[in-house]
């Protein structure tokens, strides 16, 4: 009876050790994955905090809007599409016949890029980004299937950057 108790105890001990190692390894891998996810999230949030955009609505016609997007953060905002990827989106909303409509605009024209508060301009073709302290004059039209922007109507314009930050401005035509 003494020898069988030793064998049984050894088997139970080995089983407990295997279970402990399995649980420890699983917990270690889980904590490592949580740490990686938290680090990625904090890096993205840090990047978003470094981006700040201000928006002005310069003029509104029945089918087009002219805005100024100012980069007052510390990250560069890219404007030119690359390989079919549009860096930023403009969202316009307005009421027509008691119903609000919103449209995503990704086909816009950058007419001018300049240093904020000055008349110093850059070539919009070769300088297709807005550095900190610069602003871009952007012209866009509503889609063909959209109704005209009503006279004396309120519009909301949002400029959403590829970093996930946005600037919102309300104006009246």
Q: What is the pLDDT of residues 102-144, one digit of tens each?
A: 999 988 999 999 998 888 899 888 888 999 999 999 999 999 9
* Mean pLDDT, the chain, integer: 89
pLDDT tens-digit readout, 33-61: 999 999 988 888 777 778 899 999 999 99
The residue extents of the domains of the chain are 1-49, 53-172
Give pLDDT, residue 98: 80
Q: Please tell me what DSSP assigns to residue 7.
A: H
CA distances from 68 to 2, 90, 100, 169 (A): 89, 12, 24, 11
pTM of the model: 0.73
Question: What's domain 53-172's architecture?
Answer: Sandwich (2.60)
Instruction: For residues 26 and 20, give the distance between their C-alpha atoms in angstroms, rounded to a whole number.
Output: 10
Q: Is the pLDDT of residue 157 over 70?
A: yes
Percentage with pLDDT > 90 across the chain? 56
Nearest to 165 by CA among 56, 55, 59, 58: 55
Give pLDDT, residue 50: 82
Give pLDDT, residue 2: 66
Model confidence at 1, in pLDDT bands (50, 70, 90)?
low
Which alpha helices (H) appear in the chain, and where do they start and end? Answer: 2-49
């Amino acid at each position: 009876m003494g020898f069988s108790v030793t064998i049984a105890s050894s088997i139970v001990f080995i089983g407990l050790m295997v279970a402990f190692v399995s649980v420890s390894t699983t917990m270690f891998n889980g904590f490592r994955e949580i740490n990686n996810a938290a680090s990625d999230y904090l890096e993205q949030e840090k990047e978003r905090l470094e981006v700040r955009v201000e928006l002005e609505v310069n003029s509104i016609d029945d089918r087009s809007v002219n805005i100024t997007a100012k980069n007052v953060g510390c990250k560069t905002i890219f404007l030119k599409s690359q390989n079919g990827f549009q860096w930023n989106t403009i969202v316009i909303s307005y009421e027509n016949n008691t119903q609000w409509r919103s449209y995503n605009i990704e086909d816009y024209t950058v007419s001018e890029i300049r240093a904020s508060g000055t008349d110093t301009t850059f070539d919009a073709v070769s300088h297709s980004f807005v550095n900190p302290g610069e602003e871009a004059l952007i012209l866009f039209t509503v889609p063909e299937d959209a109704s005209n922007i009503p006279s004396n109507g309120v519009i909301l314009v949002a400029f959403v950057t590829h970093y996930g930050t946005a600037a919102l401005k309300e104006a009246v035509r």
